[in-house]
Amino acid sequence: MTRPLRLRLVLRDLAAGAAFGAMAVSGQLPVWALAVFLLTLVLALCNVRLVARHARLSALLLLVAAVLLGLQLTSGAMNAVVAACSFAGLIAAQRMLSAPDGAADGQTHLTGLLMVAGGAALSGDMTYALCLIAFGVLASLSLALGVVEAAVPDGEPVPVRAVLGPLSGGVAFAVAGAVAFFVLFPRLNWAMVGPRSAPGLGAASSAGFSNTVRLGGAGTIKSNPRVVLRATLTPDPGRDALDAYWVGRTYDTFDGQEWTNVIGALQTERQITLRPASDTLLHQRVELLPAYGGRTLIALESPSRLGNALAHTPTGTRNSTVQLQGGSEVRFTLTAPSYTYEAYSLPPDAKAVGSLALRQPEKDQLLALPEHLDPRVAQLAARVLQGEKEPLAAARKLIAYLQRDYAYTLELAGNSEDPLADFLFVRKAGHCEHFATALTVLLRTQGFSARLATGFFGGARLDGAYIVRAGDAHAWTHVLVPGRGFVTVDATPPSHRTSQASALLEKVLALYEAVEARWRNSVVDYSFRDQFELANALVRPPRQPAQASTRSSRLPPMRAWLTAAAVAFVVWRVGRFLARRQKRAPRMEATRFLDRVDAQLARARVPRFEGESLEDLTTRFARDGHPLALALVPLTRRYLEARFGGRALREGEAEHLLNTLRRALEAEAARRVPKAAEQAGPTARAS
């Protein structure tokens, strides 16, 4: 096998690998499918074509695999899209290990397209985009080399280095054209058919919303930088970082070791109302990402309504009802890797927050203390408060004391028999759950109703939305204030409320999230509306503020300058391209040379098949040992070099080659005359 053919096969097999990777990044393909294809790819790159010797056996194995996948599909053990993608990978593997010919190449590339489409159905995330681009580039180069290789006569070297440059430029131009087509052609966005969310390659984070919160141990989640949610706020705060609490649920019962809330499910609806609404509400469009790993809806303090939920399962998007649990927790009734929902919260400066009417047992529970509470806890609270009777003022005094005399740490020993006393009187260091528990219990010892709340704190701005990381998981306190309801108070030092992950790691992940968000907004969710807004933004200048000067309002907006520069660049490039086409005299000369060769062959009545090119004719004559091959082989090689290889015909070279061909045709005609006479002689004598 010649080197160019080997290069073409390597590009073809790598393109198939990229197409399979477009499906594999979803994390939904079975392990056996991954193992089979990876083994196939290694064998194909090593030029081991097993199927070439066992074609019937491989076809039988494919049939068996199809039957097994069908059985899994009908039994409900496998999703239809996953089954189809797995079978497409098996077909590609069988074709890659077959004997290399035109049919196998075409079928491999076609199967690659099917796998790319399957990857879009399974995931469509940013990693899929990299596989898509790799497949497009590698497959295009492989196909182009196949065309060039077919045009070269057998035994002649293919000018790989000469054609790779033009081919690479053509592929780049094709990719740019595809992007322009995607941007300009009216279309629906992928989200119209329902975004699919894959579980990803890593395990989901713990959202922290279990039925209990147990004190003790290390707060390892604070060092987790994975993004768990993305939210769009209306009205938009416009700040780079939010100083906000995202509440998920509350706990009112503490036994000295852990917090619980024993109330079960209360109601199941499309939308749950927790508090009376006001005229002004903060709207949140929240997307819980696969890293979230829970079914609890969260919202900014203080949530009023939550619902309109969508569960993004591997097979598509489904509407999900929500269920109100104890501790004002709202859960999705469907289990899925990710969710999207809407939430409305009361503004922070609301005069009257309001809450659900509390029954007497619930009010009593807000003052309940552990049965064996260390008496020093109440003594400490009394000493710090010194008779303070107002709940919010009391909470602030205790917060100031805890933040002054206690340290924040994530490195704690194992479980303690009395973790609260250990925190307050021994270690005097802990994480947010210790600070929140201490503040809540200290308030209760002095007759102030309080409860523990868990959720997240903060939010970093990214591409018009806000992201929250697993390390932003937090616990704080709600104190009941007459006339205002529950008010958020927090004893944890402010610098330790957000994620405690490595700064470098957070920057790297922030960059990744920025690129991933741009991919989602610019590709996955790109629709006709975005096209309209883009065109409108380019042709219509933005509104000038009232205080803008008259002189500045006369100048075109910056986007107009940028658009004009982009248009000028495109016009310049098109002009350069047309100019180069006009200067392509060598290629035009090669075409004229080919026309003269064809004319000579036609006048000499050289037998040619219908549609047979000069290259095919030369190959046939060389294979059959035809005398004209000696003249046609160098002539055809020089034509291909002049037409595709960038080596123009030298002055007088075309005439020399044509004269050589003419003499060869005359010699061939002279040889045909005696043969015709010899055949005619016996016929005449017989007559």
pLDDT digit string, tens, across residues 284-334: 999 998 888 889 999 998 899 999 999 987 666 889 999 998 888 999 999
In sequence order, what DSSP letters do the residues of 207-257 get, joined into one string?
Answer: ---SSEEE--S--GGGG---EEEEEEEES----SB---EEEEEEE-EE-SS
Q: 200: pLDDT confidence band, cut at 50, 70 and 90?
A: very low
- Taking the whole predicted model, whether its pTM rises above 0.75 is answered as no
In a domain, 202, yes or no: no
Whether residue 144 is found in the same domain as residue 221? no
What pLDDT does residue 556 have? 62
Average pLDDT of span 405-409: 92
CA distance 387 to 42: 77
Whether residue 85 is found in the same domain as residue 231? no
pLDDT digits (tens, 9 = 90+) for 485-512: 899 999 999 988 887 766 676 677 667 7
Bigger pLDDT: 340 or 510?
340
Angle between helices 528-539 and 160-184 (to 10 degrees): 90
In a domain, 165, yes or no: yes
What pLDDT does residue 611 have? 81
From the number of C-beta atoms within 10 Å of its C-beta (0-12, 13-18, 19+), residue 377 rates as buried
CB 256 within 8 A of CB 370: yes
| Radius of gyration for the chain, computed over Cα atoms and rounded to the nearest angstrom | 37
Average pLDDT of span 450-469: 90
Lowest mean pLDDT of 49-58, 96-105, 120-129, 532-541, name the range: 532-541
Residue 585 backbone class (left: φ over 0; alpha: ψ -120 to 50; beta: rest):
alpha
Q: 265: pLDDT confidence band, cut at 50, 70 and 90?
A: low
Whether residue 320 is found in the same domain as residue 352? yes
Whether residue 298 is found in the same domain as residue 158? no
Q: 389: pLDDT confidence band, cut at 50, 70 and 90?
A: very high
Whether residue 347 is found in the same domain as residue 455? yes
What pLDDT does residue 348 have? 75
Structural element, H or E, at residue 306: strand 303-313
Residue 111 has pLDDT above 90, yes or no: yes
Residue 228 has pLDDT above 50, yes or no: yes
Whether residue 486 is found in the same domain as residue 551? no
Strand boundaries in 83-216, DSSP class E:
212-214
In a domain, 532, yes or no: no
Name every residue whose Cβ is closer than 8 Å to that of residue 58 and which is 6 or more positions away in sequence: 50, 51, 94, 97, 98
Q: 677: pLDDT confidence band, cut at 50, 70 and 90?
A: low
In a domain, 528, yes or no: no
Lowest mean pLDDT of 330-334, 406-410, 675-679, name the range: 675-679
What pLDDT does residue 338 have? 87
Q: 92: pLDDT confidence band, cut at 50, 70 and 90?
A: very high
In sequence order, what DSSP letters do the residues of 517-578 get, joined into one string?
Answer: HHHIIIIIT--HHHHHHHHHHHHSPPPPPTTS-HHHHHSPPHHHHHHHHHHHHHHHHHHHHH
What pLDDT does residue 440 have? 96
In a domain, 121, yes or no: yes
Residue 135 has pLDDT above 70, yes or no: yes
Whether residue 571 is found in the same domain as residue 608? no
Q: 202: pLDDT confidence band, cut at 50, 70 and 90?
A: very low
What pLDDT does residue 288 have? 92
Lowest mean pLDDT of 376-380, 403-407, 433-437, 508-512, name the range: 508-512
pLDDT digits (tens, 9 = 90+) for 510-560: 677 667 767 766 776 666 666 667 666 665 655 554 444 444 445 566 666
CA distance 316 to 196: 6
Beta bridge partners of 348: none
Lowest mean pLDDT of 2-16, 120-134, 515-529, name the range: 515-529
CB 468 within 8 A of CB 287: no
In a domain, 93, yes or no: yes
pLDDT digits (tens, 9 = 90+) for 637-655: 888 888 877 788 888 888 9
Query: pLDDT > 70: what percent of the chain?
Result: 80
**Whole domain around residue 169: which residue ranges?**
3-185
Domain tally, the chain: 4
In a domain, 68, yes or no: yes
Give the domain-ending residue among 582, 600, 635.
582
Residue 686 has pLDDT above 60, yes or no: no
Average pLDDT of span 193-208: 49
In sequence order, what DSSP letters do the residues of 453-472 get, joined into one string?
Answer: EEEEE--EEETTEEEEEGGG
Bigger pLDDT: 491 or 29?
491
CB 92 within 8 A of CB 33: no
Residue 350 has pLDDT above 50, yes or no: yes
Whether residue 7 is found in the same domain as residue 68? yes
Residue 444 has pLDDT above 60, yes or no: yes
CB 459 within 8 A of CB 328: no
The closest alpha carbon to 448, from 421, 478, 419, 474, belongs to 478
In a domain, 336, yes or no: yes
What pLDDT does residue 605 have? 87
What pLDDT does residue 570 have? 79
Name every residue whose Cβ is closer than 8 Å to that of residue 560 and which is 6 or more positions away in sequence: 538, 541
Name every residue whose Cβ is closer than 8 Å to that of residue 44 and which is 6 or more positions away in sequence: 9, 13, 96, 97
Peptide bond between residue 634 and the one before it cis (omega within 30 degrees of 0):
no
What pLDDT does residue 192 have? 43
Whether residue 559 is found in the same domain as residue 457? no
Whether residue 168 is found in the same domain as residue 31? yes
From the number of C-beta atoms within 10 Å of its C-beta (0-12, 13-18, 19+), residue 463 rates as middle
Structural element, H or E, at residue 673: helix 653-686
What pLDDT does residue 687 have? 47
Give the domain-ending residue among 133, 168, 185.
185
Bigger pLDDT: 261 or 126?
261
What pLDDT does residue 653 have? 87
Average pLDDT of span 603-632: 88
Whether residue 499 is found in the same domain as residue 646? no
Whether residue 314 is found in the same domain as residue 228? yes
Centre a 10 Å sphere on the Cβ of residue 551 and count the other Cβ atoms it contains. 7
Q: How many residues does the chain have?
A: 687
CB 121 within 8 A of CB 26: no
Peptide bond between residue 302 and the one before it cis (omega within 30 degrees of 0):
yes
Bigger pLDDT: 644 or 443?
443
Identify the top-confidence range among 60-69, 145-154, 237-246, 440-449. Answer: 440-449
What pLDDT does residue 641 have? 85
Structural element, H or E, at residue 450: strand 450-457
